């Protein structure tokens, strides 16, 4: 087992803490957050700043993440193996429904949109890659959480104050599809289904979004069929990727 260099580990810990803070943070507050002496924090953060990973606001004397991290994240996301495997599935879903298609993964109390595909139309729902939303704020998150083991679902429910979420989860678990005719602020409709593995564990969720004016009860059965079919195909893509190349 390779032991990680302690200086490197401290630097990475500091970088994670700065990103997690959500706003500029000073040396003293950062030292308390990571439970390290201020002298150690200052040395490590100076190295991070020299490497271009952290910026310094001279007026407030606080540090914040640089755009270099965002650029690195975009490169990682672009080449993420499962993202590459799932994109053809999303494009097929776009072709079948005429709406934007998405795949999300669970990250703590949020879901992250790791892959998206858009229709070639003037008006469409636009969700950027790597967008993070609270799981209960999107049908894709509700679809994913509805298929989690009861103990994991209970843990997430304990940390939300959305009053109607339990009913929505119950309907989604019963129907196998999460429906949202109109999001209150995004003004889009959402349909999503969980993607499961061969062991019946949840990989993520797949779904479509579109302008709420295009939510049509007459089209709903076909759209639900397309989304649930895409979820099955996504499972196949994941299993093929997990199996890796056949070396015979």
**In whole angstroms, how large is the CA radius of gyration of the chain?**
21
**pLDDT, tens only, 139-166:** 999 999 999 999 999 999 999 988 899 9
Q: Which of 117, 110, 128 is nearest to 206 (CA)?
A: 117
3-state secondary structure of 147: coil
3-state secondary structure of 176: coil
Scanning the structure block, which residue is given the tokens 């401290």? 10
Scanning the structure block, which residue is given the tokens 């429910």? 157
Whether residue 197 contacts residue 235, with contact meaning beta carbons closer than 8 Å, is answered with yes
Euclidean distance between CA atoms 145 and 225, whole angstroms: 20
Question: Could you give all domains of the chain from N- to C-terminal order, each with its CATH number?
Answer: 6-70 (1.10.10.10), 80-243 (3.30.450.40)
**pTM for the predicted model, two decimal places:** 0.69
For the chain, residues with pLDDT lower than 70 are 1-5, 71, 73-82, 198-200, 237-248
3-state secondary structure of 114: strand
Give the per-residue pLDDT at 166. Answer: 95
């Amino acid at each position: 087992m390779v032991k990680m260099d302690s200086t490197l580990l401290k630097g990475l810990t500091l970088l994670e803490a700065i990103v997690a803070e959500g706003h500029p943070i000073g040396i003293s507050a950062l030292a308390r957050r990571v439970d390290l002496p201020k002298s150690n924090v200052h040395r490590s953060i100076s190295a991070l700043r020299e490497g271009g990973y952290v910026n310094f606001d001279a007026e407030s004397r606080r540090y914040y993440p640089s755009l270099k991290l965002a650029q690195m994240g975009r490169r990682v996301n672009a080449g993420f193996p499962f993202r590459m495997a799932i994109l053809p599935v999303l494009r097929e879903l776009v072709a079948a429904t005429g709406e934007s298609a998405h795949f999300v993964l669970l990250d703590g109390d949020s879901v992250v949109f790791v892959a998206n595909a858009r229709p070639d139309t003037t008006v469409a729902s636009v969700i950027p890659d790597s967008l993070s939303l609270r799981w209960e704020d999107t049908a894709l998150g509700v679809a994913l959480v509805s298929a989690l083991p009861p103990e994991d679902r209970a843990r997430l429910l304990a940390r939300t104050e959305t009053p109607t979420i339990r009913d929505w989860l119950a309907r989604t678990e019963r129907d196998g599809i999460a429906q949202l005719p109109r999001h209150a602020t995004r003004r889009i409709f959402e349909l999503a289904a969980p993607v499961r593995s061969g062991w019946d564990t949840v990989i993520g969720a797949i779904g479509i979004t579109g302008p709420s004016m295009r939510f049509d009860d007459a089209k709903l059965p076909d759209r639900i069929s397309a989304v649930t079919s895409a979820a099955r195909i996504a499972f196949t893509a994941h299993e093929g990727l997990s199996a890796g190349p056949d070396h015979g």
